[in-house]
């Protein structure tokens, strides 16, 4: 469905979408500049004390498995690398922008949503590593894309709470995937919202396109591999009982995405089996983002 400019404008008026905070947007601008040094990156992150603390906690967590304690941001950048730090900062920053309301909601369970996002990020990363020899997908970018793939839902939950909940209810009643219900009730979907949200963020396309096209892989103008990867990982989450709330119907799998990635069934099985352990290691993301 072609979403009209009118709907986009209407949504933007209601939502007054936030821009990406300064540190993250500055980091995106300098990260691919060959003249940028690790101390430039460390200095920039150091401007934000709360972000620095979060990055250090993550750098020292089991997720990265670094054998020594990292006590300052300079060392974190050197040991983990600028690209890893960049995707880390981006992930933390984006989720931090949408703290969510404290009301418990049966229709949109934040914990389940988080678990779904994190699982999708981890599956993306694992598959990216498996297909590395055939397809050059950066595992860190894949993690970030998977982690943020449904960010449009968080925006809808925050800015169009009532209508979004109507759409969620409708998807349950009609037993249709949430994205179809969103289009029916709102006239647009969480993937449109993700596109509008990140319009001026200058994200790398490898991260931006999966947010917009993970349900419509064939429509992506670019970055087909990582978009397809995100689509498959999302579907695998539902398969593994890690959808964003157990009762929601899985969006249909677009088979050509699997064929394009040339991933073997046994690799998928292996990834599914290792998922609980990976989730355990990454659970610190929950703690940090949920404060
Ligand atoms: Fe989605
Ligand atoms: Fe999803």
Closest-lying ligand to the alpha carbon of 182?
1
pLDDT at site 131: 84
pTM of the model: 0.91
CA of 253 to the centre of ligand 2 (A): 12
pLDDT at site 7: 80
Contacts 24+ apart (CB under 8 A), 92-96: 92/51, 92/54, 92/55, 92/58, 92/288, 92/289, 93/20, 93/21, 93/23, 93/24, 93/51, 94/20, 94/24, 94/148, 94/151, 95/148, 95/151, 95/154, 95/289, 96/289
Closest-lying ligand to the alpha carbon of 190?
1
Task: Tell me if 152 sits within 8 A of 190, measured CB to CB.
Answer: yes
CA–CA dist 128, 42 (Å, integer): 27
Closest-lying ligand to the alpha carbon of 243?
2
Q: How is domain 99-291 classified at the architecture level of CATH?
A: Orthogonal Bundle (1.10)
pLDDT at site 133: 77
CA of 63 to the centre of ligand 1 (A): 25
CA of 208 to the centre of ligand 2 (A): 15
Q: Mark the ranges of the chain whose per-residue pLDDT is less than 50.
A: 1
CA of 234 to the centre of ligand 1 (A): 7
pLDDT at site 245: 82
CA of 247 to the centre of ligand 2 (A): 13
CA of 161 to the centre of ligand 2 (A): 18
Closest-lying ligand to the alpha carbon of 117?
2
Domain ranges of the chain: 12-97, 99-291
Closest-lying ligand to the alpha carbon of 214?
1
Closest-lying ligand to the alpha carbon of 248?
2
Express each pLDDT in 196-254 by its tens digit.
999 889 899 999 999 999 999 999 999 999 999 999 999 999 988 888 887 899 999 88
pLDDT at site 103: 63
């Amino acid at each position: 469905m072609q979403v009209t400019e009118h709907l986009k404008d209407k949504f933007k008026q209601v939502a007054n979408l936030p821009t990406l905070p300064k540190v993250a947007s500055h980091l995106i601008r300098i990260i691919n500049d060959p003249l940028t040094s690790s101390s430039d990156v460390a200095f920039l992150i150091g401007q934000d004390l709360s972000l620095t603390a979060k990055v250090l906690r993550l750098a020292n967590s089991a997720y990265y498995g670094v054998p020594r304690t990292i006590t300052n941001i300079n060392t974190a950048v050197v040991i983990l690398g600028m690209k890893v730090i960049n995707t880390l900062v981006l992930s933390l920053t984006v989720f931090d922008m949408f703290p969510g309301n404290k009301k418990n909601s049966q229709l949109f369970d934040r914990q389940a949503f988080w678990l779904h996002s994190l699982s999708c990020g981890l599956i993306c990363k694992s598959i990216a590593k498996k297909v590395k020899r055939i397809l050059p997908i950066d595992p860190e970018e894949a993690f970030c894309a998977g982690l943020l793939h449904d960010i449009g839902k968080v925006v809808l939950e925050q800015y169009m709470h009532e209508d979004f909940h109507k759409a969620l209810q409708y998807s349950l009643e009609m037993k249709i995937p949430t994205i179809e219900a969103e289009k029916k009730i709102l006239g647009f979907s969480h993937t449109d919202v993700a596109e509008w949200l990140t319009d001026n963020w200058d994200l790398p396309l490898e991260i931006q396109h999966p947010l917009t096209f993970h349900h419509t892989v064939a429509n992506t103008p670019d970055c087909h591999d990582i978009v397809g990867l995100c689509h498959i990982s999302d579907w695998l989450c539902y398969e593994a009982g890690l959808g964003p709330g157990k009762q929601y119907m899985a969006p249909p799998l677009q088979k050509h995405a699997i064929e394009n990635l040339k991933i073997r069934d046994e690799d998928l099985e292996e990834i599914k089996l290792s998922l609980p352990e990976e989730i355990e290691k990454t659970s610190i993301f929950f703690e940090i983002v949920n404060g």
